[in-house]
Structure formats: C-alpha cells, structure tokens
Structure 1
C-alpha cells in the first residue's frame, strides 16, 4: 500500500477539514504552506467563484490542495412542510420586525455536477473530496482522469465499504464528535452514528484503502491515539476555526473560546440535515433535531434573515455555530502552529 502522506504529496499527515461558510482560500493556503493538506470548500461557491479562489491558490502556492464538494440529492419541493417551517419561525421574525412572507428563495448549496466539473478540470486539483457519498460514476471518472486522489466521508462501516466499492481512494472515518454536517448518506438514522475511536478501528478492519480519522481530534494526544488505531492521517476542523485565516464571525470566535463550546449538539434546524454546533437559543426552543425543518438544504433560506438581524444586534441566537465536541485548543494562533501541534502526535 502506498503511504498516504506520500500519495497526497504533503509533509505531515494532517488534513484541514473543508468548512463551507467558515473559510476560504486563506486557510487552505496557510495549512498547505505548513506542510499539511489545506482544503477549499466549494459547496457554497458558484463555478465562477470557485475558479477565482483556485486561480489565487495556484498563483500563490505549488503545494497540493483538497477541493471539496457535496453530493446530496436536490430535495423535492413540499409546500406544506415549508409552510410549517415558516410558521415555526414566525414569532422570531416578528421579534425582529421581519416579514415571513418575504423569505428569499434559493438553497445556497449545490451538489457536484458537470458544470462545476467543467470549471474545476483546468486546475486539476491533486485531491478532490466529497461529503454525502460520491458523485455519479461519469463525474467520478472525470475527476480520476486527471490523476486526483478521491476522498469521501464515512460515518458507518457500511458507508466505508460502499465508498471503497464505488471508487474512493481513501476513506475519512467521521466520528460523531465532528463539527459541521454529518457525512451520512446510506441512512438518516442518527442512532447509527459512532464516536471516532469506536468507528475508526472498525473501518480500518473493513476496508483496504487508507483511512483518515476525523472528529474530536484537537491535539497531539488525539492524533497519536488515531494512529495507534490504524489511521494513516488525521483531519481536523474545529482546531483551525479561530485562526486568523478562518472566515468566521466575531460572535462565532467568541463562542468557540467560551464555556458555551462545551455544549454542542446535532441539529437540522439550520440547513435541514444533521450538523454539530454549539447549542443556541433556536436549538433550545425548537429542539435541535426534528421534522419541523424542511429537507437539506431548504431550511437555510428562512434562517438567513434571522441570523443577519440577530448578529447585527450582537446576538448569535440564530447563527449556526458549527463546532466539534472538543474546542479546547481552538485559539487565535497561526494555522501553521495548529499543524505543528497536531503533527507532534504522528508516530
């Protein structure tokens, strides 16, 4: 088996988790410059804005980059479910003097498609990763044709086996502790989700491709534990969120460095799909998980005006404060320092 660090063309087996809406090219460049694998999340970018970011990355660095996409199925419009969602949010809209009847349309997140692949191909990124499974075979063949290494997230052993069988070159074992969206795609049942150090050895035993550990790993000790359980690399996200090169709000930074970060939960209120974040007023009052929100990514449109109004008033009550269960090392330090501290655990 080819060593994964060598295969990815990096110096240390530390991957920065792609975090849509929380970072862009700045963080990807900083992590890659430190010898890890920086990532550019593209789920919320248009083909043009993605190309703009990649032009900059290629102009400023010769190091490998991981370009990340979602592979969700666009939802079927359900007027009754959308009406129920708007009804649940009406009191909050009234609180800020907003009109629920003027909720903007649009989803803000697009799955990987041929138009996106057309814009991506000229850059021939060394690594392309996916969340929520893999794209259709024709798209995956296009990506592999330019020599890209393909990664994707698995939250169960069954998903890991599926990814290997369908062309993934390495599997990211995403434990329940991870911040942001669960990568689950073969089931909607959150009771199937395992913690990182329960999931990791089972995935290692189940597949023959390299396995990358993700979820709750924030320091050298966590990295060392992941390697002892068979990981060939570690992916970290929350540990990078307070770096100067991340693009989160001041409110999000404040929450991550407060006691509030000790209480996270899975919620589907912000996007329509389970994702882990710091518990907010919205999550407490509506319940973090349930069927009130429309399917991913339709919940986002109605949350956006509330988030903007509340943040303008200095409140994160309606903001998705994505974070994993271990924000203990999330500090305002250079990304290179985070990479070095994690790499100290590599044996």
Structure 2
C-alpha cells in the first residue's frame, strides 16, 4: 500500500473525482476519515477551480486529489453538429425550450488551458490526477517540482505504459464496469473493455507503479478482492454519489435506488460514459444522427438536462454510475469510509 504510506492515509481508499458530483464538502469528509478525497476541475474554469481548492483547504489539512481533463482537442464538423441539434430539437420542444443554435467546446483540456495549470501549480495539491489522456511534459515537470504526486487513468496496458513513460507516479486501472466517462485516450479506437480485476492483474508487476483499482467496487469484500489481485489502493465513485455531501440532485439519488441497469453511451456528452438507464439513455438508443464528439455534444446535453429539470422532469440527467450501483449505501461520507474500512478489515 505504497500510495497510502506516501500520503499518510489511514486507508488505501480514494473517493473518485466525479466532475459535477463531487464537492469540497464530500472530499473533506473523506479526507478527515482517513482516505483520499477528490474534487474535479475539468468542468469549471480556472477561477472556479481556485475557489474549490480554497474551499477544500478550508475544510481539511489532510492530503487531497484534484483531477483535470486532458482530452485531445475536438475535431469540429459544422454539418454534423447542426444535424445533431436538429435531432434533439423535438426533445427541447417537449420541455418548452429551444436547443442551442451552435455547439460550443464547453470544457478545455488542461493541455490547452495555461490559466488552469497556473492554479494547480500555485495550489500544489498532494495529488493531481488526469482523465482522458496525459499531461504535457512541461506540466509534469512543473507539478512535480511543486511536490504533487501525479496519477493517470488507464483502461489498457498500452495506456498505462504511456503513463509510466510520461512520468506518472500511479495509475488508476479503470475497469469496464466503472461509472462515468471511460478514460480511453482515443474514443475512436477499439476499447479493450477489460473488467476491473482483469485489468489490475494485467498491470500489476508490468508497469512498476502503484495500481489503483476502479470500477464496481462497493464494499469491503470487493476492496479486499482488488487488493488481493495486486492493487495498491481502490478508487470508488458510485459508492459516494448518494452521500449527503455530494452534489447529486433528487432525480440522481432516486435513480440509484430505482434504475434497472446502466448503459454505456456517448450521446449525452460525446464520449462513452456509463450512465444509469434513464429517459436520456432510452432516447439515445433510438437516435440515428451521428454524435458530434466531445465536448460539443455535452453542450447540447447539458442544455437539454437543464430544460427538462426546469419542466420538472428529473430523468434526463447525466446520471453516471457503475454497474454495481444498486448496492450504493446513502450515508455521510465519513461514516461510509469507516464502514468500508471495517468491512475490509483495515482496523482488525
């Protein structure tokens, strides 16, 4: 459990960053309970990121993780984007709204955002993690000079090896069961779709770095299974969605208890992501228009979600969740960490 020792954690547990759902309050509660809390800044600008980090620092003096997106710059196709807007227009009209006239690149990659990099260098969090790819060499050097440990998500051995070559200090092995966006570097390339434990076993001993298991880990027994498979720590996201400190809305929380399953879809954001089966997912299954790509598709998706919510419809959210969502236990985050630790036998 090298990561826990390095960071002075009581438990080898990481609360997943979960952009839009994690909050400074959630991360702080996890940190105070002895695990690694996380926030995500990929969906906000530099000013908001600075405020989030300050908020978190005001709640805990313990180490925490700040996650950034490092997706490749989008290839734009105006005709494709117009066709997607047209396909979604009836949905907007159902809620008495109009779709956006044009789609925007609403999220900037850290690799194209010097202001965000400045915030991270200034803040120097104990851990900085990356999703969708790898940071530029100058970013790695700057953050390491400030003492931050660097962690990248990988869905395959090739991606993990690229992380090693880029200077990462640990790798999150994101199994196919995991909720939220797949961390694939190239969403247009074939996805190996490896399960969490299979991926952990493939990476352990092959990359020489601590491996953090992520995907469908919900209780102490599964934490132990991941550690026995060779993981140095585990990362859990869906398990924390129902915590009162998360930003999940009423519809999201209700679906955790009621949804029939999950589906991997790119129709909400433009990148493949595992979502609870809801009205948006049902529409996406029947949609025939070509998805424009990330993050432009998310511009339309977020606008539709907002229109539906304003009309009182809560089933159109980006309700990201892993395949084991039905076993989520809504309780305060600190209490959940302690329950998981007892189940895993960490205090025995």
Q: Is the 1:218–1:328 Cα contact (8 Å) retained in structure 2? A: no
Mapped partners of 2:39, 2:337: distance in 1:
17
Q: Is the 1:267–1:289 Cα contact (8 Å) retained in structure 2? A: no
- 2:27 aligned residue: 28
Alignment of 1:259-270 (within 5 A): 260=259, 262-270=260-268
- 1:253 aligned residue: 253
What is the deviation of 1:316?
A: 3.0
Q: Which moved more, 1:35-44 or 1:317-326?
A: 317-326
What is the deviation of 1:44?
A: 1.1
TM-score using structure 2 length = 0.93
Mapped partners of 2:287, 2:232: distance in 1:
33
- 1:138 aligned residue: 138
SS in structure 2 of the partner of residue 192 of structure 1: coil
Q: Is the 2:7–2:126 Cα contact (8 Å) retained in structure 1? A: yes
Structure 2 vs 1, CA of residues 153 and 290 (structure 1 numbering), >3 Å: closer, same or farther?
A: farther
Q: Which moved more, 1:3-12 or 1:65-74?
A: 3-12
Alignment of 1:1-347 (within 5 A): 3-100=2-99, 102-103=100-101, 105-112=103-110, 113-186=113-186, 188-189=188-189, 191-258=191-258, 260=259, 262-287=260-285, 292-344=290-342, 345=344
Structure 2 vs 1, CA of residues 288 and 41 (structure 1 numbering), >3 Å: closer, same or farther?
A: farther
Q: Is the 1:82–1:294 Cα contact (8 Å) retained in structure 2? A: yes
**Unaligned ranges ≥5, structure 1:** none
Q: CA RMSD in A?
A: 1.9
Q: Tell me the number of residue pairs that the alignment of Structure 1 and Structure 2 aligns.
A: 343
Mapped partners of 2:11, 2:154: distance in 1:
22
SS in structure 1 of the partner of residue 204 of structure 2: helix
String of CA shifts for 1:316-335, please: whole Å, max 9, x gaps.
34211111111133232010
Mapped partners of 2:9, 2:96: distance in 1:
51
Q: Is the 2:13–2:235 Cα contact (8 Å) retained in structure 1? A: yes
What is the deviation of 1:46?
A: 1.2
Mapped partners of 1:75, 1:84: distance in 2:
17
Q: Is the 2:154–2:173 Cα contact (8 Å) retained in structure 1? A: yes
What is the deviation of 1:105?
A: 4.8
Mapped partners of 1:289, 1:134: distance in 2:
32
Mapped partners of 1:291, 1:337: distance in 2:
45
String of CA shifts for 1:43-73, please: whole Å, max 9, x gaps.
0121111111111222222100100000012
